[in-house]
Amino acid sequence: MSERLALRIDLERCIGCKSCEAACKQEHGLTPGAYRTKVLWLEDSRPEVSPPTLFLPVMCQHCERPACLRACPVNPKIISRDEETGVVSVDQDRCTGCGECVTACPYGAMGFDAGENKAVKCNLCAERRADGMIPACASVCPGKAITFGNRSDLAAEAEAMGREVIDHDDYLLSPGTVYLAPVGGLETREAHGPVIHEPAVAEGKPRRSDAEYPYGAERQDRQIDRVVPGGCNICFNACTLKFHFSGERIVRITGNEEDPVLGGRICPKSQMTLQAYENKERLRSPLRRTGKRGEGKFEPVSWDEALDDIAARLCKIRDEYGSEALGIFSGTRSGIMTNRGYVRLFSQLWGTPNVETTETLCASGKNVAYQLTQGSLAIANSYTPDDIGSAEAYVYVGDNQAETRPVHFGMVNDWRLQSNARLIVVDPRRTVTATKADEWLAIRTGTDMALGLAVAYHILDEGLQDHAFCENWILGFEDWRQFILAEKYSPDWAAPITDIPTTEIRKLAEIIASADGCMIFASRGVNQHTNSVQTNRVWMYVAAITGNWGRKGGGYFNMSSASLIHPNVPDNRRAPIERPMVRRNPTGWIAAMTRGRPYPVKALICGNNPMAQWPAQEQAREAFQSLELLVHMDIFENETSAFADYVLPIANGVERGGISRADEDRRIVWNDPLIKPPGEARSDGWIWIELGKRLGYGDVLKDAYKDPATFWDEICIDTEELRGCTTRRMKARPYRWVRAPLPSEEAKEIETLYLEGSEAIGAPGKRFPTQSGRLEFRTPAIANKFTKLGLPDLPQFFSEQEQLVDLPVLELLDEDDNEGTLSPFAPAPTFVSRARIKPPGNLSRAAELRAAGFDMELVTGRPPAPHFHSWTHSFWQAQEMWPHLFAQIHPSRASALGISDGEKIAIETAYGRIEAMAWLTPGIRETSIFVPIGWGEKQRFHPWRSVNFLTDQTQRDVISEQVNLKTLLCKVSRV
pLDDT recorded at residue 51 = 63
Of the pLDDT bands very low, low, confident and very high (cuts 50, 70, 90), residue 48 is: low
pLDDT digits (tens, 9 = 90+) for 748-794: 999 999 999 999 999 999 999 999 999 999 999 999 999 999 999 99
pLDDT, the chain, mean: 94
Gyration radius of the chain over CA positions = 28
Residues 59, 430: Cα–Cα separation, whole Å: 27
Long-range contacts at 413-419 (CB < 8 A, ≥ 24 apart): 413/12, 413/13, 413/15, 413/143, 414/13, 414/143, 414/144, 415/385, 415/388, 415/389, 415/390, 415/391, 417/12, 417/13, 417/183, 419/389, 419/390, 419/392
- The confidence score (pLDDT) of residue 559 equals 86
- Per-residue burial over 455-468, b if 16 or more Cβ lie within 10 Å, else e, is bbbbbbbeebbbee
8 A C-beta contact, residue 424 and residue 521: no
Residue 115: pLDDT above 90?
A: no
Per DSSP, the three-state class of 84 is coil
* Residues paired with residue 883 on neighbouring β-strands, in sequence order: none
**Does 196 have pLDDT greater than 60?**
no
Task: Say what the pLDDT of residue 2 is.
Answer: 65
Is 676's pLDDT higher than 50?
Answer: yes
Statement: residue 83 has pLDDT above 90? yes
Burial readout 840-868 (b: 16 or more C-beta within 10 A, e: otherwise): eeeebbbeebbeeebebbbbbbbbbbbbb
- Measured between its terminal Cα atoms, the distance across the chain in Å is 62
- Average pLDDT of the segment spanning 807-829: 96
Three-state helix/strand/coil letters over 535-603: HHHHHHHHHHHCCCCCECCEEEEECCCCCCCCCCCCHHHCCCCCCCECCCCHHHHHHHHHCCCCCCCCE
Peptide bond into 194 cis (omega under 30): yes
Q: Is the pLDDT of residue 200 over 60?
A: no
- Taking residues 815-839, report their average pLDDT: 96
Q: Whole-angstrom Cα distance, residue 629 to residue 625?
A: 10
Q: Quick one: pLDDT at residue 189?
A: 54
Residues in a beta bridge with 149: 6
pLDDT mean over 366-370: 97
> What mean pLDDT comes out for the span 73-77?
94
Q: Strand 737-739 relative to strand 667-671: parallel, antiparallel, unpaired?
A: antiparallel
Q: How far is CA 316 from the centre of its chain?
A: 39
Q: What single-letter amino acid sits at 217?
A: A
Note the Cα 786 to chain centre separation in Å.
31
Q: Which of 28-42, 95-109, 694-708 has the highest mean pLDDT?
A: 694-708
CA 763 to chain centre: 32
Whether the per-residue pLDDT at 462 is higher than 80: the answer is yes
Residues near 754 by beta carbon (within 8 Å), at least 6 away in sequence: 374, 380, 549, 550, 760, 767, 768
780 CB-near residues (< 8 Å, 6+ apart):
none
pLDDT tier at 198 (50, 70, 90 boundaries)? very low
What are the residues whose beta carbons fall under 8 Å from the beta carbon of 542, sequence distance 6 or more?
A: 452, 455, 456, 459, 512, 520, 556
Question: Is the model's pLDDT at 295 over the cut of 70?
Answer: yes
Please count the helices (runs of H) and the strands (runs of E) in the chain: 33, 39
* 575-630 pLDDT tens trace: 999 999 999 999 999 999 999 999 999 999 999 999 999 999 999 999 999 999 99
Give the other-Cβ count within 10 Å of 699's Cβ. 12
Whole-number percent of the chain with pLDDT over 70: 97
Note the Cα 232 to chain centre separation in Å.
13
Mind listing the pLDDT tens digit for each residue in 401-449? 999 999 999 999 999 999 999 999 999 999 999 999 999 999 999 999 9
Query: What is the bridge-based pairing of β-strands 54-59 and 249-255?
Result: unpaired
Predicted local confidence at residue 49, as pLDDT: 55
- Strand blocks (E) in 843-940: 856-861, 886-889, 904-909, 912-920, 928-932
Q: Is a pLDDT exceeding 70 seen at residue 47?
A: no
